Amino acid sequence: MRPKTRPNLRQRLDELLQPYRGDPSQPRTGLWIDVTLVLAILASCAAVVVEHLTDAATYPLLHQTLLLAEAAFTVLFTLEYLLRWYASPNRWRYPFALHALVDLIAILPSILMFAHVLGIGSEFLVLRTVRLLRTLRLLRLLRLLRILRHGYSVYRLAVIVRIWTTAIVYQYRLGRVARLLLLSVLAWVAGANVLHLIERVSENPTHPSPYAADYWETYWGVIVFIISGMDAPEPVSLGARVVVTTLLVAGICIVAVFTGEVVSILVRTEQRRGRMALKPPGLKLAEHVVILGRNDHLERIIHQIHRAFGGRHYILVVCEDAETLPSPGPLTHRRVFALQGNPARDDVLDAANIEDARRVIVLSGDAGKVTPSERDDVALMHALAAVARNRAIPLVVELQEPESLRYASSIKTADCLVSRHFGEMLMSQSVHNGGVAEIYDELMTFSADTSEFYRVRVPSQLVGKTFRQVQEIFLDLDTESIVPVGIDGPGAHAYRDFRLCVADGTGRASLADHVLTDSDHLIVCAFDRPSFDTIKP
């Protein structure tokens, strides 16, 4: 199937500048544009606050830098506004849209301020007053309203930063290192104050102490004692010497513990090299894909899920040998975690945040010494444990025996796949029709150069038309290559009311003549997720 034709410049710009919503059809570049704009908005607002709180006469270089930064931000936001206007499908309506008005209000104070600074429009009396000029400067904080446009990107950025920092803290044990540093600071402050107080009380005029005369010198002396235990002046009083000896022992212990922590981190990092990252305790995931169990094709499943979702969702593998799982590779490593434990236990499922998961995949275990039926029993037990925690979550359960399907029929939200049975049917089809296996491989493989199946809601342009008419419309469509293959009902779970409509053979006429409603879903085969923008009513 040929890919859809390339959009023109305006369509491409509009697609890139649209606020990112996590839709798989949106390009990943749009997310980075959103993140860049959000960071620019926050930086410009911070510059406004710094400019307002500092005096230009006292910090002339700082204010010159802030002025140049403000000019750069103004150019960036003005260029963004003009590009959005140019790429808008309706250029006459765009300036009056809510987000366009917010963008204009956000950049207008800066434009007026620079017009006043450059002497442009100085005949306007309103710009001659210093008070109004300061007001215009503060009005630049209205840029914060523009973050409302990028709400999803801000939320996604916050989630990514939270997960990344939690993983780094857990991997390198930064929590223990931070507690050790805090203990060192407390020992430093307490030791310096006690040493200065004792030396001050016990001060002898004939033997002056350097720690009694200068309070801040005491802090430097304590640091030297904690780190090296030498090269510092000796205290005069007995009590101060006891304190210094205690600090010396504490310093040796702190350095030893810190060295041990660093060595432990290096050893653990080397041991975990090439293995899947473990999920940090307390890390809360949401909208992630949970895989219960493992087998020989776990790595390929992870790669396919990562490609299917475009890397937008984290993947969590729950199994009893999670610590030995190999890394899925550099491209997907940062989006995959492993959780040690039995997937049938409630505490393990709690740690997996099963209630907030987007999908759950239950894999049949490795062959080993167990029979296929026993492997199915374990997989069904894991599926029931997941459903008990979240009855509405969609499941995909891998089974080995077709007879096990009758036991899985009670799980309403589960799609059960007997991999061996599917392979047998595909083999018979390949024997009868050469090349079928290659077609199935292309359709079932998520990659940048293959077509996939998509379940999409019927667009408003196609409501009221029959499935046969929709096939004819897509056949004449040049901008996108779409092949409708079926109809799905309005259920919350995909493919519950699926009906295949590939041809008009016997028994298919009623399906081909089915009138589409706004609650129906089309099952289509396409190179990318269809946008339906070019379909006319």
Where are the chain's structural domains?
9-159, 174-271, 289-423, 451-537
Q: How far apart are CA 188 and CA 211, in angstroms?
A: 14
pLDDT at 232: 65
What is the spatial distance between Cα 527 and Cα 521, in angstroms, rounded to a whole number?
Answer: 18
Question: Is the predicted pLDDT of residue 254 greater than 60, yes or no?
Answer: yes
Find the mean pLDDT for residues 493-520: 62
* pLDDT tens per residue, range 157-167: 777 788 888 88
**CATH for the 289-423 domain, from 3.30.470.20, 3.40.50.300, 3.40.50.720, 2.40.30.10:** 3.40.50.720
The predicted pLDDT at position 290 comes to: 93
Mean pLDDT calculated for residue range 149-164: 73
Q: What angle do CA 483, 306, 293 make, to 5 degrees?
A: 115
Task: Compute the half-sphere exposure of residue 254: CA atoms within 13 Å on the CB side of its CA.
Answer: 24
Q: In 401-416, which positions are buried (b, 16+ CB within 10 angstroms) versus exposed (e)? A: beebeebbeebebbeb
- Give tens-digit pLDDT for 382-424: 988 888 888 888 888 888 888 888 877 777 777 888 877 777 7
Q: What is the reported pLDDT for 117?
A: 60
Look at the alpha carbons of 485, 357, 277, 335 in this order and tell me if their dihedral is positive or negative.
Answer: positive
Helix H or strand E encompassing 503: none
SS3 390: coil
Architecture in CATH of 174-271: Orthogonal Bundle (1.10)
Residue 434 confidence class, pLDDT cut points 50, 70, 90:
low
- Highest mean pLDDT: which range of 26-30, 249-253, 297-301, 424-428: 297-301
**Which of 535, 523, 532 is CA-nearest to residue 498?**
523
pLDDT cut 70: percent of the chain above it: 77
Domain 9-159 part of CATH 1.20.120 = yes
For the record, the structure tokens of 370 come out as 């167990």
pLDDT for position 316: 93
pTM of the full predicted structure? 0.64
- What fold characterizes domain 451-537? Alpha-Beta Plaits (3.30.70)
Query: What is the per-residue burial (b if ≥16 Cβ within 10 Å, else e) of 430-464?
Result: eeeeeeeeeeeeeeeeeeeeebbebebebbeebee
Q: What proportion of the chain, given as a percentage, has pLDDT over 90?
A: 4
> What pLDDT is recorded for position 371?
85
* 252-262 mean pLDDT: 83
Q: What mean pLDDT is predicted for residues 264-284?
A: 84
Q: Which is higher by pLDDT, 46 or 120?
A: 46
Q: Measure the CA–CA gap between 441 and 193, rounded to whole angstroms.
A: 73
The answer to whether the Cα torsion of 347, 353, 358, 363 is positive or negative is negative
End-to-end CA distance of the chain: 25
The pLDDT of residue 124: 46
